[in-house]
Chains A and B, each alone.
Chain A
Amino acid sequence: MAIGLPKRLLTTAATALLLAAGLAACGDSAEPAGAPKTLTYWASNQGSSLDADKQILQPELDKFERQTGIKVTVEVVPWSDLLNRLLAAATSGQGPDVVNIGNTWSASLQATGAFIPFDDATIAAVGGKDRFVPAALAAAGAAGKPPTAVPIYSLAYALYYNKKMFADAGITAPPATWEDLVTAGRKLTGGGKWGLAVEGANISENAHHAFTFGQQYGGEWFDAAGKATFDTPQNVAAIKRYIDFMAVDKIANPSNAEYAQNQSVSDFANGKAAMLLWQAAGSALKAQNMSPDAYGVAPVPFLASPPSGGKRVNSMVAGINMAVFKHTKNRDAALQFVKFMTSDEEQVILNRTYGSLPSVKTVAGDAAFAAPEQKALAEVLGSTAAPLPQVPAESQFETLVGTAMKELFADAASGKQITEEMVKAKLTNAQQQVRS
């Protein structure tokens, strides 16, 4: 009879499907010899639109096909989806061959073991370790392990300042210390205009500045064993210095506490704020109708008298890396493609178009990178930039500390007084949530 028929249906179907799901182990089938080589490449969005990126990349991919006979199919993935899709690909063992990754993801992705490590042999196959800018390569994986990716576009933070507003306020040179920046900011604030624009609700931006300020105050976010050290006095002082731009010095508009969609860049472009700390903002500013003549680019300031242990770092090493999935069926073709994208010619073409800096030393002197913005960035990248902590828990640092700073900005914006105890309490709270 029909007793328990639905239950039996349930159990058998469930078992069958569970077995199918359980076969998640990666068993790549071998490539049949002599098959035409094709690669799937997920590019990140670097340009003004997904379509624009495709227009920029396609001629280069066609060039690659002419040179090697390998066809590359590119899909430009928006940043909001890229990490999710990388995760899904790493989990399932199925997906693209070559991908762009944000370089801050390097250590986490390295820990998945889903990507080909660029040990000495592999990195020699793409041109050799020495070609790459050391700082950029350092941001491609945990120290002591082979990098999980190679850098292709490099970026750094700089101080952008509005030339006219500076001139009107009688400021002759961009500030080189934070104290000078506050002084300048005070002169520039007033009449609906503000000295500095900050992106207070953007977790990543906050975390990047936390790193830079932390370095200058001599703080570290993780100790040598990889344990989180968020609430050290140095870190507290560092975070307080950044929050104080709004809380104490009042050179940042309280509304900035809710900015998370690049509104600070718009404020700078519209002349509402005179200074901006941003990564390679040139292309974004141009897209918002601010001509390069209207602003100057200077290195991010330092402390006038740094405490002992303070490092001379004024930017994180930002950039995009290129990684190859282990599950690729065309390993050699993929490495050839990486070599192509990091070749001198391509590095010049792509970085010139995107407004970023080459990740290889050999073309640093190219005329394409002689504009004032590029020169300033290159100097920072070469001498005073440091990579974010290359530990798998880096994403926890970004999320937890970035959120703590967002909440501090919200408090400052609503008029609360920000004391050192408050900052320490928030950082301690963040540290306690780190899952080891």
Chain B
Amino acid sequence: MTATTAPDRLRRPATPPRAPARPARRTRRSLLPYLLLVPAVVLELGVHVVPMVVGVWMSLLELTQFHIRDWSTAPFVGLDNYRATLDVDTAAGQELLHSFWVTAAYTVASVGLSWLLGIAAAVVLQRPFRGRAFLRTLFLTPYALPIYAAVVTWSFMFQRDTGLVNQVLLDTGITDHRPFWLIGGNSFVAVLVVSVWRSWPFAFLCLMAGLQNVPDDMYEAAYIDGAGFWRRFQYVTLPMLRPVNQVLLLVLFLWTFNDFNTPYLLFGGSAPPAADLVSIHIYQSSFIIWDFGAGSAMSVTLLLFLLVVTAGYLFLTRRRRSDA
């Protein structure tokens, strides 16, 4: 059974490519992968890479409202922007560091919960039954809604005096007073709930697709061997989902870490300290006051941090794969 090998795209090839039957094919085939990649390369360069490089360049300039019109007049300040924003002895540096911690906690919690809910739903909806298509569609609906409406609805629900959440909490007797959700310490929970509500359908979608490639006979074989639900899950489902999970968890982590819209729309532009996520923090402390050099420096710092985390993650998951 060859279907269990996980992708090895980053490993060096162990064997040379299959030798073709005729020499003419050899030249054509060795160019083919490059040709297939050309559209993707061109688009990525133009829309992602070059602007990113320009963004990094911006972080080395003192780019404020005075120079935004003609960048050639912006003084080159090297690493000054980085020094100014990352100095933990200053209030600004402290706040940025705090914001990183909050975002890290938020991201881990959000991705973890979204994945758990996604896999639970995908597994539970794997077996056909009446109404399955309806439930699958229902669960994908948060993903279909425009983010503005979704987050704004939650901000309604979290209003202290007029919101549904406090109404339910009071009516069911869970609390005896109306807590704040959009300011103060609970704001972390609020933004986490909204984030999970929006992310878990996406995890569900990917895991659902991934589960389709797990052949039924593998489950049958395990069942015949006497494996109960949890063992089938552990030894059949999870390993088969490893390629999907590897990508899914990583991108969910990156997207959630960088998430700007959710806190921006939930907190109306400025986040309370307990929910001061890094992307909105960067926006509030730089772009909104026209200091693009500093904003770029903070964004590049964020990028470097995520690069390190990603490299570590890929290293760890790669190791486990070759051990398997």
Residue positions of A touching B, CB distance < 8 A: 1-2, 5-6, 9-10, 13-14, 17-18, 21, 24-26, 87, 90-91, 93, 108-109, 111-114, 201-203, 253-255, 257-258, 260-261, 392-393, 395-396, 399, 402-403, 406-407, 409-410, 413-414, 429, 432-433, 435
Contacts and interface: CB of A to CB of B under 8 A. Distances in A.
A435 B270 contact: no
Nearest to B92: A433
Interface in B1-58: 30-31, 34, 37-38, 41-42, 45-46, 49-50, 53-54
B285 A14 contact: no
Contacts of A203: 269-270
B64 to A, nearest CB: 8
A87 B65 CA distance: 9
A395 B68 contact: no
B139 interface: no
A93 B159 CA distance: 43
B316 interface: no
A21 B47 CA distance: 12
A9 B41 contact: yes
Contact of B161 (A109, A255, A392, A395): A255
Interface in B64-120: 64-66, 68-72, 84, 90-92, 95
B198 to A, nearest CB: 20
A141 B154 CA distance: 40
A164 to B, nearest CB: 22
Contacts of A114: 68-69
Contacts of A93: 69
Nearest to A110: B65
A91 B284 CA distance: 20
A111 B268 contact: no
B37 A90 contact: no
B259 interface: no
Contacts of A410: 180, 183-184, 272
Contacts of B269: 203, 260
A6 B268 contact: no
B72 A18 contact: no
Interface string B211-224: 00000000000000
B260 interface: no
Nearest to A115: B69
Contacts of B273: 407
A109 B289 CA distance: 11
Contacts of B268: 201-202, 260-261
Main secondary structure of the interface of B (DSSP, over half): helix
A10 B64 CA distance: 31
B294 interface: yes
Interface string B124-159: 000000000000000000000000000000000001
A1 B30 CA distance: 9
A13 B290 contact: no
Nearest to A111: B65
Contacts of B161: 253, 255
B242 interface: no
B318 interface: no
A392 B84 contact: no
24 contacts: A2-B30, A2-B34, A13-B42, A14-B49, A14-B53, A17-B46, A25-B70, A26-B70, A87-B290, A90-B69, A91-B69, A93-B69, A109-B65, A201-B183, A255-B161, A257-B183, A258-B180, A258-B182, A260-B267, A399-B270, A410-B180, A413-B183, A414-B184, A435-B294
Given A2-B31, A202-B268, A432-B91, A111 B180 contact: no
Interface in B260-289: 267-270, 272-273, 284-285, 288-289
Contact of B41 (A10, A109, A202): A10
Given A201-B270, A406-B183, 13 more contacts: A13-B46, A17-B50, A18-B50, A87-B290, A90-B69, A111-B64, A201-B183, A392-B65, A395-B290, A399-B288, A407-B272, A414-B184, A435-B294
Nearest to B85: A435
B160 A255 contact: yes
B182 A201 contact: yes
Given A112-B65, A112-B66, A432-B90, A258 B160 contact: yes
B270 A406 contact: yes
Contacts of B54: 18, 21
Contacts of A393: 289
Nearest to A92: B69
A413 B180 contact: yes
Contacts of A9: 38, 41
B50 A403 contact: no
A420 B49 CA distance: 50
Contact of B289 (A113, A253, A395): A395
Contacts of A112: 65-66, 68-69
Contact of B68 (A91, A409, A414): A91
Contact of B69 (A26, A395, A406, A432): A26
Contacts of B180: 257-258, 410, 413-414
Nearest to B152: A261
Contacts of A111: 64-66
A246 to B, nearest CB: 12
A6 B95 CA distance: 42
A395 B66 contact: no
Chain B CB within 10 Å — which of A1, A253, A257, A435 has the most? Answer: A435
B53 A108 contact: no
Given A25-B72, A90-B69, A435-B84, A399 B45 contact: no
Contacts of A17: 45-46, 50
A90 B31 CA distance: 45
Nearest to A93: B69
Nearest to A18: B50
Contacts of B46: 13, 17
Contacts of A87: 68, 290
Nearest to B37: A6
A260 B37 CA distance: 48
A327 B64 CA distance: 19
Contacts of A202: 268
Contacts of B64: 111, 392
B247 to A, nearest CB: 22
Contact of B91 (A18, A414, A433): A433
A324 B255 CA distance: 39
Nearest to A260: B268
B95 A433 contact: yes
